[in-house]
Amino acid sequence: MTLAQIGPGFGEVIGRGVGAILLYAVLGVLLMLLGFYAVDLTTPGKLNRMVRDGLPNAVVVTAAGMVSMAFIVVVAIYTSSGGLLEGLLASLIFGLVGIVAQVGGVRLLEWVTGIDIGAVLTADRIQAQAFVVSAAHLALGLVVAVAIL
């Protein structure tokens, strides 16, 4: 008699689960990269260069954008139902809509408040406006994530 016994089909369940994790992880990374490039394309200058150079405002805004994208991707994955393919497609669609909503909303906020995001991102000292833009990223990410629910 053994204390623990692995039931039939256990390997198949683990295999499907590991495969799903890997596919959702790849999709999540791709969506986050796409979100980064969407922010980069809609802001003056090269965001990746500013982050690499350690410009504090670019780092803060980019970090908030990445966390915001993660909210959207996580909730899209969490709410996906049905088969794996349906879940991946739903996550992809919700993720893409979330990217558009987030980038558009943040750019609108910058316009309404008169924030010169180019000047903020390239400043070598932290600017208060970077926190407003970062908060907008996080807030919109949460709004989109909850809308997916």
Domain membership of residue 129 (yes or no) is yes
Domain membership of residue 104 (yes or no) is yes
- Going from the C-alpha of 123 to that of each of 84, 109, 134, the distances in angstroms are 45, 20, 15
Domain membership of residue 10 (yes or no) is no
- Its domain, for residue 99, covers 32-148
pLDDT tens for 8-27 read: 877 777 877 888 889 999 99
Domain membership of residue 8 (yes or no) is no
Domain membership of residue 136 (yes or no) is yes
Dihedral of CA 131/134/140/146: which sign? negative
As for how many domains the chain has, the answer is 1
Domain membership of residue 16 (yes or no) is no
Domain membership of residue 56 (yes or no) is yes
Closest CA to 123 of 63, 61, 65: 61
Domain membership of residue 36 (yes or no) is yes
pTM for the complete prediction? 0.82
pLDDT tens for 83-110 read: 888 889 988 998 898 889 888 998 999 8
